Structure 1
Amino acid sequence: MTFLNSSILIGLAFASVPVILHFLMKQKPKRLLFPALQLIVQRKRQSVRRMRLKHFWLLLLRVLVLIIIVLAIARPSLPPANYRLSGMEIGILCALCAIGIGSYLFFLHRLRQELQPKFQREERQSKLRNMTTVSTLLAIAAFVGFPYQQRISGELTNPRPVQDINLPVAGIMLFDTSLSMSYLQEGKTALDQAREIAKKHLQSLPIGSRIAIADNSNDNPILFQSTMLSAQSRLDSLEVQTVSLPLDERLQLALKSHEDDRTRTLSDQSNVQTDARKDRYIRRIYVFTDLAKSAWKTRTSDLLKGQIQEATGTNLYLVDVGQEDPQNIAITDVELSRERIPVGGDLIVSTTLSATGKDVPEQTVELRLQNSQNQSSKVGQISSPIDAGIPVQLSFSPLSDLQNRSLHGEVRLATSDPLAFDNVRYFSAEVIPAPKVLVVGPEYDDVNEWVLALAPHDGLDAGKNKFVPEYVPIGQLKDQKLSEYTAVTLINCPGRSLSDDLWFQIGKYVENGGGLIVILGDTDLKLNPSYYNRARAQVFLPASLDVYQSKNLRTGWRMSIDKRSHPMFWKFRQYENFGTFSTMENLVRIDRFWKVDPAEGSNVLATYTNEERSPALVERTYGRGRTVMLTTDASNPESRDGWSTLASLNTSTMFLMFVQQVTEYVSRFTDVEHNYLAGQIPVVPLEPKNRDRTIFLREPGLTQSRSTLAAAAPSIVLQPTSDVGHYDLYEQGSRVSLRGFSVNPASAESDLTRLTDSELDERFGEEKYEVARNIEELKDNINAADIGQEVFPMLLMLVVVIFIGEHIVANRFYSNQDQTADL
């Protein structure tokens, strides 16, 4: 135990005053004339014995009051430890007190039932009270005091070193600047409150202190500010950022910075022996955060816990500026049915909402689009209730007849809440002419169903088609300029028509980014598999042909889509609630198929239900292009001896979706990204040109940055983006947007779930940190760490208890004295 005001301990001498006064002012017995009756003499002796006992207790209480008052003014402190009684200890204490009181009342009741003189009953009652009191105190000491002493003995035996409070402070203030710190409380953001606490604390630091201000928006080195004024200026410049690093990483760097600075401080004391060198600073790390889990790593780091364990001379303080029960409604995601839309096509916008804290009876969400003048207008609205903690997905009515090349929009809450950044989410898409695809087959009858699936609309609705298919017979394929098509589909093409030169031409097309689909729906006599297995073809084909499986006359087989998460099936997943996968797997009957051997590096996406689980759909990447092989026919079986019912009427909707999804996948039509998260590096494809170009990027704040795009470059790589909103690329001298994209914050930033006490212990180690919610708690925590835990409040409470006890004993004493005198 240490004392902040040790000189006050001289006042303990005043504890002798009650003893001196007791002896000086002790009343002498008065001589009274009584009859010589033995009963009265015996009564007097018993009363005198009780008086002496009460004299002692009264004297003891008055001495203790003076001692404790002096100790309290001296402000004693104990080594940092958990001096609170545990739940079990409190329970045992209450039980022992109840047993003591119950025992006293029980024996008192029995005592009063006995017939005996009043003075004897009072004497036995006094003995009973003393015995039960002493027994209860001994039991409390044995069953509560001893375990309590054992529990904290380790901390008291090896206490944390007490700091010299007159030393200057070397402190690192680490601020959480993630988006959750923009939560408003009483008109101030959480970051504003953290800044206010930090400024107040700076004013209380000793002269000569050094402070470093850091945040988690970047990985810059942590450096101490030259003056307190510069530290305050750094505090004023802190802002909430859309991109942030885990606080764990920055805290590790702060611990290392302290260790490096301590090493430099000790090395500067070259004129002092190594063992005698001491650090000249009290070292602290302050982490100002709302304790949101999203600001920390998902998994705890043993490395961080180990660093904190080793940094015995550095104290860690968590300043909690978060809301204990936050309320928030967030738009966590916006999903587009596609990001590249043919001119005149449709777009379905879906959004995901979540609520934190309480249920929302009804929430309205607006869909807004930006016109060519960059003005936003509402084009849709939807309302729905939201249960807290359960995300809700909503879809707006389809947007039809889209024309503008760069499509920018946003989904916005119709109301506001304390956390504003997630009340809106931006999206972009691109409207382009439908791409051309080439469909090749022996006769048009072989490709009819495939062509209709690519372009199901005609007449005035032809603009809604996603693709513009063109059919050519296999004999004319060598004369086509394949680079004009985004995809080429070979359906039941005879092998003898596929020469090595033609395979080489197709291979170069795929290598340069084209898409190839090969459909095997004819017998070996017509396909002639040896031509498909030639070396020129196997360079890029996903599989080599073996033999075809003859028709199953009984039940046929079914197709099993084994890799449903593959990008080719994104639309199947979108409509999975309507049975897209189950329709393909249960209603499509396979009567014949080719057995193939997948090439190295290929990927089997679907298989048949035969015993060998033969591949049904195989894909492979070659160069910048993709190839897909379907090992059964895709023609209507009603027109000829069919191999499968894939294109039959009862699965026509699924067949249309399947054809378009496979074509989109190999043509990379949907691979162009238009929506990024803050901090990602946008890679925007642009049409190559044979000259260098100057490209301007217009950012959400209407500021512009310039980049140079080299000749023949297929894309431009931009710097990581941090501002949320819409972006557009322009070529110098042009006002027409080449391509646009949008940037949004990570949806995890809307998760306001707080770290619990057990999670903090797991992350930092038990009793290796202190948590404060305001400047007063921060001061108390610092005092407890630097000088130990003060017992001043405890001593004052004890003084009050003893004063009450002294008052009770004195009243009973003087009351009994008067009664004795009357005798």
Structure 2
Amino acid sequence: MLTWLSGFLMNPALAAGALGVASPILIHFLSRRRFRRVRWAAMEFLLDALKKNRRRVRMEQLILLALRCLAVLLIALMVARPFLSRGSLASLIGAAPRSERIIILDDSFSMAARTGAGQTTFQRAVDSTHRLVELLAAESSSDAVSIWLTSGTTRPLVAVPRLDGEAARRIHDALENAKPSHRTAQFDIAFDAIDQTLRTAATQANASLYVISDFQRVDWASPDPAHTPTPAAAALARLRAPSRNLDVVLIDVSSATPANLALVELRAMQPQVVSGVPARFEAVLANYSSEVVSGLELSLSLADQVIPPVHIGRLAAGEVRREPLEITFPAEGSSILTGQLAGVAAARDPLPLDDRRATAVDVQTAVNVLLVDGEPSGDPFRDEVYLLRTALRPAGRAASGNDLTVVSEADLDGMDLSSFHVVVLANVARLNPAGRNQLELFVRNGGGLLIAAGKQLDLDWYNESLYRGGNGPLPLALGEQIEALAVGGPLFPFEWDATHPALRAFVDPLAGALRQVQFDVFLTLREAEPPPTTATMRSDSAPSEDRARPRVLIRLGDEARSPLLVERPFGRGKCVMLTSSLDQDWNNWASSFSYVPMMLELVQHIARSPGALLQTIVGLPLICPVDPARFSDSAIVRGPDYPVTAEWPLRARTSESGALFEFDQTDKVGAYEILLMTQTGLIRPRRGCVNPDTRESNLAPATRAQLEAGLPEVPFTYVRDMDSMIAGSEALRTEMWWPILLIAVVVLMTEQSLAWWFGTRG
């Protein structure tokens, strides 16, 4: 009832004062005189006169009573402050056109950011939604209202056919129970779902769309000068088709000075992590604010094991810092490394969800390396792989993490390579067709191959079988054997790609040691086109097909700048060609202290990756490939709230590579665990994690100018302050209290005049 009255009265609760209209009636009845009948002959003539005037007196009393009741009713109505608006007037005469009022409430995780008043942005958005619904009810309570969320749902949070009292309660309860999700804002999904709903509606009514959000730039501002629309902008343009009468109102509830700290990345910097051996990781921290923050730390943990925190210190305004980490995992198996921003600055961070990040790690017992010795010898210093074997497993207390197997080229035939991470061909003359196919499949499936030159290489066979015009794993075609004396003397490394993961450590003093390595003999390579300079090469390039462009890592100092070390991705693996020998027949590299770190870094870089890690971002599925020969097709998933929340049963589905489990209930950030069952009945846990999408971490809102540039085909009304919107709506109302006051005064004066006149007539 109050909701309906709010469409006509500014103070609908005060309309209860209209009940005071009963007071004159009560007074009238209570004030009637009670007579005691006494028979008196002299009064008979007066009684006859009174009977003749009784009807007139009663009519006069009823007129006065009606005027007094009307006066009370008018005063109560005046206090309730009635008004007339376009919507309320149309409702009164029954001519109000029905409209669809669609409200989109942003519930992405950025809306959980605390503002200066201690209130979150989402709470401000909910308050604005409450006030907007009240305003819509006041304008036209016959309109249908639906509220949608941006967390990827294709159904409204609540929908009501009209704004009566019951509908208002439903909307209030739904908003009070709503909370910001861990997802990003998916406006495009919400807009497309609304578009489909309007298309399938029985009647095409007028519609108004209200978007209540913090309007982050990543969602709305065009990323390029050509103003290419974002997915949200493109979907909104589709929704507001020229044939559809849709008014768009953007209500911005963002903070005036948004600020946020975020741990945007935590990742391993090497393919294989070996138990007991320090592994390189990198944490990326960002300060999305206009102020310098200090006193920042990075807390790390492995499951229940806490690692000493890393002191970060200061982060400049807008700075994104890459912090190198070295982590040693105590045991093999599936594990999770978790990072958490800590310290004084983190305690003041308004958005804590993205201060924490995890990465899944499959810890191996060792990197399995197969060394194929092309020139075995009883003399260790003449053996082709002895020096490499010593470099990959140096003496000392510190473990290298490499497990070496040495075979001859004849032993390679028919060997199962699936258990190895790296294969090294050291001065191997040639392979038979079966061995070549097996080796090529190994690299294509993700393995690493290192080919080292030597005097025994059959150059024609390598070009025909392993290069094959660029269709094989060999990075470049082999040329002729060159002696350094023939080109002016001994050669030394001249330049190398310091951005490459295997060469990042080669700064002084290692850089000086590498420059002093002398190369007496090498093989030329037939470069198809002038290679790019090392400065223009990117270390993060990831070709998607076998014919990826080779990357020269080290060049010699001859006039032609001949390649010494070349890498090329092939399938999911990598192949590296060393144009000189691994022993000291063609160079003295093994006597330089740069040899051991170079070989260790090369093997670690090209080693087969453990496969798909069990990690994803919120809203995307966790995928766990399994070997159907080892594991059954059923598993159990435990979420971050286990055991508060129940386990999920899971069934495997077939894929091209075997079988996989796919879990899509990833709505919460945290650690997940998939319990796999082997064919023998043993349980093998796989630990994974779900992280927030850090594109949401930069809270900077799009300005009105950026919104206009990003929505060139969508006219909209921009509202920064709900108070101004409500005030503007109230300005369109015409209040009626002053005419009612004049009428009440006239009624009271009329009542007084008539009462005097009736009294004087007797």
Q: Under TM normalisation by the shorter chain, which class is it?
A: 0.5 to 0.7
Taking the aligned partners of 2:372 and 2:614, their CA distance within structure 1 comes to 32
1:426 aligned counterpart, secondary structure: strand
2:385 aligned counterpart, secondary structure: helix
1:408-447 paired onto structure 2 within 5 Å: 408-414=336-342, 415-416=346-347, 417-441=349-373, 442-443=375-376, 445-447=383-385
Say yes or no: does 1:296 pair with 2:220.
Answer: yes
1:364 aligned counterpart, secondary structure: strand
Q: Is 2:222–2:709's contact at 8 Å kept on the other side of the alignment?
A: no
Match of 1:727 among 659, 672, 677: 672
Q: Is 1:368–1:411's contact at 8 Å kept on the other side of the alignment?
A: yes
* Residue equivalent to 2:420: 485
* Residue equivalent to 2:57: none
Q: Is 1:254–1:285's contact at 8 Å kept on the other side of the alignment?
A: no
Letter in 2 for 1:317: V
Q: Is 2:478–2:523's contact at 8 Å kept on the other side of the alignment?
A: no
Say yes or no: does 1:680 pair with 2:620.
Answer: yes
1 or 2, which has the higher helix percentage?
Answer: 1
* Residue equivalent to 1:241: 181
Letter in 2 for 1:292: Q
* Residue equivalent to 2:582: 635
* Residue equivalent to 2:566: 617
* Residue equivalent to 2:648: 705
Letter in 2 for 1:605: R
Q: Is 2:370–2:406's contact at 8 Å kept on the other side of the alignment?
A: yes
Listed as ranges, the gaps of 5+ residues in structure 2 are: 1-7, 9-80, 86-93, 378-382, 529-544, 735-762
* Residue equivalent to 2:15: none
1:289 CA drift (Å): 0.7
CA separation of 1:544 and 1:714: change in aligned 2, threshold 3 A: farther
Match of 2:249 among 317, 326, 350: 317
* Residue equivalent to 2:211: 287
Taking the aligned partners of 2:723 and 2:98, their CA distance within structure 1 comes to 20
Taking the aligned partners of 1:214 and 1:287, their CA distance within structure 2 comes to 9
1:230-269 paired onto structure 2 within 5 Å: 230-247=170-187, 250-251=190-191, 254=194, 261=201, 264-265=202-203
1:94-109 paired onto structure 2 within 5 Å: none
CA separation of 1:479 and 1:762: change in aligned 2, threshold 3 A: closer
Structure 2-normalised TM-score? 0.67
Taking the aligned partners of 2:626 and 2:508, their CA distance within structure 1 comes to 37
Q: Is 2:519–2:586's contact at 8 Å kept on the other side of the alignment?
A: no
CA separation of 1:577 and 1:709: change in aligned 2, threshold 3 A: farther
Letter in 2 for 1:695: A
Taking the aligned partners of 1:309 and 1:467, their CA distance within structure 2 comes to 63
Letter in 2 for 1:713: G
Q: Is 2:473–2:570's contact at 8 Å kept on the other side of the alignment?
A: no
* Residue equivalent to 2:751: none
Match of 2:322 among 393, 400, 405: 393
Match of 2:449 among 497, 516, 519: 516
1:409 aligned counterpart, secondary structure: strand
Letter in 1 for 2:338: E
* Residue equivalent to 1:33: none
Which range is displaced more, 628-637 or 584-593? 584-593
1:460 CA drift (Å): 4.2
Listed as ranges, the gaps of 5+ residues in structure 1 are: 6-72, 78-163, 267-278, 791-823
- What is the CA deviation profile of residues 687-709 of structure 1, one whole-angstrom value per residue up to 9, with x for unaligned ones? 55356342222221114222234
Letter in 1 for 2:621: I
Taking the aligned partners of 1:746 and 1:588, their CA distance within structure 2 comes to 49
- What is the CA deviation profile of residues 600-635 of structure 1, one whole-angstrom value per residue up to 9, with x for unaligned ones? 72531117465496695243535xx63514151242
1:326 CA drift (Å): 2.4
1:240 CA drift (Å): 1.7
Say yes or no: does 1:741 pair with 2:702.
Answer: no
Taking the aligned partners of 1:285 and 1:226, their CA distance within structure 2 comes to 16
Match of 2:128 among 182, 191, 197: 197
1:351 CA drift (Å): 2.6
1:419 CA drift (Å): 1.3
2:175 aligned counterpart, secondary structure: helix
Match of 2:404 among 469, 474, 487: 469
Say yes or no: does 1:758 pair with 2:705.
Answer: yes
Taking the aligned partners of 2:264 and 2:143, their CA distance within structure 1 comes to 44
* Residue equivalent to 1:452: 390
Taking the aligned partners of 1:379 and 1:552, their CA distance within structure 2 comes to 51
CA separation of 1:482 and 1:172: change in aligned 2, threshold 3 A: same
Taking the aligned partners of 2:290 and 2:574, their CA distance within structure 1 comes to 50
CA separation of 1:632 and 1:193: change in aligned 2, threshold 3 A: same
1:243 CA drift (Å): 2.4
* Residue equivalent to 2:474: 542
Taking the aligned partners of 1:363 and 1:245, their CA distance within structure 2 comes to 32
- What is the CA deviation profile of residues 774-817 of structure 1, one whole-angstrom value per residue up to 9, with x for unaligned ones? 44222245568xx69x9xxxxxxxxxxxxxxxxxxxxxxxxxxx
* Residue equivalent to 1:98: none
Letter in 2 for 1:603: R
1:372-383 paired onto structure 2 within 5 Å: 375=304, 377=306, 379-383=308-312
Taking the aligned partners of 1:251 and 1:773, their CA distance within structure 2 comes to 22
1:654 CA drift (Å): 4.8
Taking the aligned partners of 1:210 and 1:499, their CA distance within structure 2 comes to 77
Taking the aligned partners of 1:455 and 1:245, their CA distance within structure 2 comes to 50
1 or 2, which has the higher strand percentage?
Answer: 2
CA separation of 1:617 and 1:725: change in aligned 2, threshold 3 A: same
Say yes or no: does 1:180 pair with 2:110.
Answer: yes
Taking the aligned partners of 1:401 and 1:306, their CA distance within structure 2 comes to 51
- What is the CA deviation profile of residues 696-723 of structure 1, one whole-angstrom value per residue up to 9, with x for unaligned ones? 2222111422223479936544336332
Letter in 1 for 2:725: L
Letter in 2 for 1:174: I
Say yes or no: does 1:606 pair with 2:549.
Answer: no
- What is the CA deviation profile of residues 294-334 of structure 1, one whole-angstrom value per residue up to 9, with x for unaligned ones? 34364452855586583784322222221101233322222
1:254 CA drift (Å): 4.3
* Residue equivalent to 2:142: 208
CA separation of 1:534 and 1:320: change in aligned 2, threshold 3 A: closer
CA separation of 1:584 and 1:236: change in aligned 2, threshold 3 A: farther
1:482 aligned counterpart, secondary structure: coil
Taking the aligned partners of 2:103 and 2:509, their CA distance within structure 1 comes to 55
Taking the aligned partners of 1:485 and 1:534, their CA distance within structure 2 comes to 26
2:552 aligned counterpart, secondary structure: strand
Match of 1:218 among 135, 152, 160: 152
Taking the aligned partners of 1:605 and 1:311, their CA distance within structure 2 comes to 55
1:473 CA drift (Å): 2.6
1:737 CA drift (Å): 4.7
* Residue equivalent to 1:626: 573
Taking the aligned partners of 2:355 and 2:575, their CA distance within structure 1 comes to 42
CA RMSD of aligned residues (A): 4.3
Taking the aligned partners of 2:434 and 2:376, their CA distance within structure 1 comes to 22
Taking the aligned partners of 2:400 and 2:627, their CA distance within structure 1 comes to 23
- What is the CA deviation profile of residues 529-567 of structure 1, one whole-angstrom value per residue up to 9, with x for unaligned ones? 2333455985744367553241232263757667x87xx
1:683 CA drift (Å): 3.0
Taking the aligned partners of 1:483 and 1:306, their CA distance within structure 2 comes to 51
* Residue equivalent to 2:50: none
1:438 CA drift (Å): 1.0
Q: Is 1:636–1:648's contact at 8 Å kept on the other side of the alignment?
A: no
Q: Is 2:484–2:521's contact at 8 Å kept on the other side of the alignment?
A: yes
* Residue equivalent to 2:20: none
CA separation of 1:254 and 1:615: change in aligned 2, threshold 3 A: farther
Q: Is 2:462–2:478's contact at 8 Å kept on the other side of the alignment?
A: no
1:477 aligned counterpart, secondary structure: coil
1:592 aligned counterpart, secondary structure: strand
* Residue equivalent to 2:462: 532
CA separation of 1:774 and 1:350: change in aligned 2, threshold 3 A: same
Q: Is 1:319–1:778's contact at 8 Å kept on the other side of the alignment?
A: no
2:696 aligned counterpart, secondary structure: helix
Match of 2:609 among 646, 668, 679: 668
Letter in 2 for 1:477: L
- What is the CA deviation profile of residues 257-277 of structure 1, one whole-angstrom value per residue up to 9, with x for unaligned ones? 55765xx535xxxxxxxxxxx
Taking the aligned partners of 1:587 and 1:194, their CA distance within structure 2 comes to 66
Letter in 2 for 1:181: M
